[in-house]
Amino acid sequence: MRAGVHWEFCEAMSDRDPGLATNFAARRQEMARDAQRRMVELVAAKTTDSAPGPLPLHKGVYTDETRFAAEREHLFLGQPMVAGLSGDIPNPGDVLVFDAAGPSLLVMRGKDGQVRAFRNMCTHRGAKLIEEGEPFSTHLPRLVCPFHAWSFDPAGKLVGQPSKESFAGCDIGARNLLEVPCAEHLGLIFVRAGGGDPIDAAAHLGELAPVLEALELHRAEPVKKGILTAESNWKFALDTYSEGYHFAALHATTIGITHYNDIARVDRFGRHHRVGFPDKSYGALPDLPESEWPQVDYGGVHYLFPNTVIFFGSIEPGKFFTQLFRLFPDGVGKTRCHFAVYAPFGVESDEQKAMCEMAYDGTATVVQTEDYRVAANGYANLLTAPDDYHVVLGANENAVQAVHRHIAEAIGMPLD
């Protein structure tokens, strides 16, 4: 089924579906041209966007259990986490499991088109309503508990209770599912897994919102999903997404051939950022007037604080794909990355679907066998490193520095 069908259930369609009012393809072209100008400057000057100086990080930033407990509490349970895209549950009755942040949660689209999130926990004796783990999703107009068959509708309401009279007179004898904050905005579904305040997704995205809006994530249709793992702290794995300083050495047979090493355009949007890496075709452009530059496709790494990366790109001109990486800890020294590739504007043909599958397979292999390999090896070293050992992020690892500073600020623990 095509993503975006649920918009039919919304009365104010133009409010919910920004694509009806705006030509996003034109906006992406403008963004691509702006990025191109900046990257031509960087390539001409053989430099990269940089921080004022290097940043040493004590090994404990990655290995310390107390710090990790604070991250779990303030980030994974406390911050809005991306549970998926709208197209993962396009229709009323669709449900996905989101268990990577901690508690097992169900994210469901109700008959009214609204997305809500609940503990995947029966209100009778706590059984899991859906026993599969992430990235499981399905269509279930009614959730039936596998233990004693209490049932719930997609809005979390208890709608069936065998031997109901046995629970009469008890104030918790007939509860609806326990709800946690959830918001759907610009095609992203956010959940605050630990409960607490409602999510203001627009405020959370801030200045990044117009950029993400142009990606039309509300139209994205999932093609392939899987899990990548690293025997490392989640931040060590995350650090690999936001710098191009490692392309030539670590990715010598892939992006190291096609792209410049250590040239990155970095745009910061509060705690979020965007990074672009020029490919080697940029080498010819500084000598040409802008009127002779080719029109390039928009693309780049979009980092959503604290753990999500959206890569929008094209395999060949005009053949786009959207990649979603969500990194979660399974303990201080284990990372689980939920990786998914989407057809950005819905699956249009078998050929395009195959291309998106290629974008999954090729990237999964590189990330798993190269980026996460060095993350695991480096992390193992940190565990036995001298007590005062620090890693150091160069000024050229500008965006990575920002990630660490913002995480430290959010958990209330300084970096040094």
Task: List interacting residues with ligand FES (CB under 6 A).
Answer: 122, 124-125, 127, 145, 147-150
* For ligand FES, the closer CB: 170 or 392: 170
- ∠ at Cα 305 (235, 203), nearest 5°? 165
Could you tell me which stretch among 170-178, 199-207, 275-283, 365-373 binds Fe ion (CB under 5 A)? 365-373
Rank residues 63 and 240 by Cβ distance to Fe ion and give the closer one: 240
The binder of 13, among Fe ion, ligand FES, none, by C-beta within 5 to 8 A per type, is none
Instruction: Choose among Fe ion, ligand FES, none what residue 266 binds, the Cβ cut-off being 5 to 8 Å by kind.
Output: none
CA–CA dist 416, 410 (Å, integer): 15
Residue 242 contact, options Fe ion, ligand FES, none, Cβ 5-8 Å cut-off depending on partner type = none
- C-beta of residue 207 within 8 angstroms of C-beta of residue 291: no
Residue 240 interacting partner from Fe ion, ligand FES, none (CB closer than 5 to 8 Å by kind): Fe ion
* 323 near Fe ion, judged by CB under 5 A: no
The sign of the CA dihedral 3, 6, 8, 12 is negative
Q: Is 240 in the site for Fe ion (CB under 5 A)?
A: yes
Compare residues 32 and 127 and give the one whose CB is closer to ligand FES.
Answer: 127
Report which of 366, 383, 341 is spatially closest to residue 64, judged by C-alpha positions.
383
Quote the tokens at residue 268.
């910061």
**Cα–Cα distance, 139 to 93 (Å, whole number):** 6
For Cα atoms 373, 376, 381, give the angle at the middle one, nearest 5 degrees.
125
Strands (E) located in 59-152 = 81-85, 94-98, 105-109, 115-119, 137-139, 143-144, 151-152
Q: Give the residue carrying structure tokens 């630990």.
A: 194
DSSP string, 158-223: EEE-TTGGGGTT-TTTTPPPPEE-EEEETTEEEE-TT--SPP-HHHHHGGGHHHHHHTTGGG-EEE
State the nearest-atom distance from the C-beta of 402 to Fe ion, in Å: 18
Which of Fe ion, ligand FES, none is residue 148 near (CB under 5 to 8 Å by kind)?
Answer: ligand FES
Residue 284 interface partner, choices Fe ion, ligand FES, none, CB cut-off 5-8 Å depending on type: none
Strands 81-85, 265-269: pairing kind: unpaired
**Of 102, 65, 96, 92, nearest to 83 (Cα)?**
96
The smaller minimum CB distance to ligand FES, of residues 111 and 125, is found at 125
Nearer to ligand FES, 166 or 291 (CB): 166
Binding Fe ion (rule: CB under 5 A), the pick from 88, 99, 371, 397 is 371
- Closest CB 174 distance from ligand FES, rounded Å: 12
Least CB distance to ligand FES at residue 137 (A) = 21
Nearest distance from C-beta of residue 172 to ligand FES, angstroms: 13
Say if residues 339 and 225 touch (Cβ distance below 8 Å).
yes
User: Pick from ligand FES, Fe ion, none: which does 147 bind, CB < 5 to 8 A by kind?
Assistant: ligand FES
Q: Smallest gap, in angstroms, from Cβ of residue 302 to ligand FES?
A: 40
Nearer to Fe ion, 98 or 325 (CB): 325
When the beta carbons of 240 and 352 are compared against Fe ion, the nearer one is 240
Task: Report the nearest approach of Fe ion to the CB of residue 371 (Å).
Answer: 4
Applying CB under 5 A, which residues contact Fe ion?
Answer: 240, 371
